[in-house]
Amino acid sequence: MANQGMKQVLMWRITVVLTLLMLAGCSSAPKGVDCPGEVSTIYGQSMGNTQARIFDLVSAFAVSRDGVKVQSGTLHSTDRFQYVPSAITAEGFYAQRLSVKQFRLINPYQNTMITWTCP
């Protein structure tokens, strides 16, 4: 009888621990990665370098720098093997995921683009 009670206590403790682990995993926010970037004209002429924190959200990404955060919105592509997944941000920038580690924002109003390559 005492053995049965010990099993119930053990199962209850395991359930509580697993529930807490699941809640902790679900509530954690993406931390982001500091990535170097190259600033250039839309035609490819280099204009310098920059740094930003990239938050990769799989179907979207966000770029944060100097307290300003730009979110790509949901990236779309009819065929990811032929076309770069892209979206238009709320600010009017063209956001692209070039690869798993490369992200780009294009500002057509200033004829500039920044391409970040993350480690």
What is the average pLDDT across 90-118?
Answer: 96
Say whether both 22 and 78 belong to one domain. Answer: no
Say whether both 89 and 53 belong to one domain. Answer: yes
Say whether both 85 and 43 belong to one domain. Answer: yes
**DSSP H stretches of helix in 1-119:** 2-27
Contact call for residues 63 and 116 (beta carbons, < 8 A): yes
Say whether both 19 and 75 belong to one domain. Answer: no
Contact call for residues 62 and 72 (beta carbons, < 8 A): yes
- Domain count of the chain? 2
Interval 57-70: pLDDT, tens = 889 999 999 999 99
Q: Which domain holds residue 5?
A: 1-29
Query: pTM value?
Result: 0.73
**Closest among 18, 54, 21, 58 to 37, alpha carbons compared:** 54
What is the average pLDDT across 46-64?
Answer: 95
